[in-house]
Chains A and B, each alone.
Chain A
């Protein structure tokens, strides 16, 4: 059974620092991996989608890497801003049908 873990559960950084968020999964036979952002009491916003054949994806200040063999993905957010404060969730897609297995998330606070 696939298990997805995100460590740490919470993180606080001063504005301007780079953020590094970690995600690990137990079964390397994944279809894809997505990173989402969730603001309090709200739905999820997709940030990046990495297919299993890819090693990384980039969008603006965000970069996500994927290492299937070690069961890890890392989300980098450059030059953090207070608006980046949110919970970041990692989700593993186990097949082409799209069902996602989520981690519990990392709650990020960026202080001005």
Chain B
């Protein structure tokens, strides 16, 4: 399977803990996106990368959130000092320059 993969699929953590999610895009895709989706809503854009460069961050991405894409391959999204409001599905997507976005299965975060 050469689709977008995300790890872990589920994460339960206590408030105040740090968590890190990983996304592996389709290999030839140079653009990578992170979205957050809460129950009953569509995904909301968080940030995106062109190769290793982070080109835009949403205002939703507070200082507790950081994303990286070293060497333009996989990406990580870290949330520090988690809050209950961070509970959501975190989705990663990738695409080539002129192509549709392909989404991974998501990481469901529950903050207790």
Interface, chain A (partner B; CB < 8 A): 4, 34, 36, 41-46, 49, 89, 91, 96-105
Which residue among A36, A41, A100 has the maximum number of chain B CB atoms within 10 Å of its CB?
Answer: A100
Which residues of A sit under 8 angstroms from B98, Cβ to Cβ?
96
Which of B42, B93, B105, B108 is the one whose CB lies under 8 Å from A105? Answer: B42
Which residues of A sit under 8 angstroms from B42, Cβ to Cβ?
4, 89, 91, 102-105
B48 at the interface (CB under 8 A from A): yes
Which of B50, B100, B108 is the one whose CB lies under 8 Å from A49? Answer: B100
A91 vs B56: C-alpha distance when bound (angstroms) = 18
Closest 9 A/B residue pairs (Cβ): A102-B42, A44-B103, A43-B103, A43-B105, A49-B100, A46-B100, A43-B106, A104-B42, A102-B43
A interface secondary structure, majority: strand
Task: Write the nearest CB–CB distance from A101 to chain B, whole angstroms.
Answer: 7
Which residues of B sit under 8 angstroms from A105, Cβ to Cβ?
41-42
Task: Write the nearest CB–CB distance from A109 to chain B, whole angstroms.
Answer: 15
Q: Annotate B37-56 by CB proximity to A: 1 below 8 A, 0 otherwise.
A: 00011111100101000011
Known contacts A49-B100, A100-B45: does B40 contact A43 (CB below 8 Å)? no
Task: Write the nearest CB–CB distance from B44 to chain A, whole angstroms.
Answer: 7
Residue of B with least CB distance to A6: B42
Q: In the complex the two chains form, is B102's CB within 8 Å of A99's CB?
A: no
Task: Write the nearest CB–CB distance from A81 to chain B, whole angstroms.
Answer: 23
Known contacts A43-B91, A44-B91, A44-B103: does B55 contact A97 (CB below 8 Å)? yes
Which of B6, B31, B41, B104 is the one whose CB lies under 8 Å from A98? Answer: B31
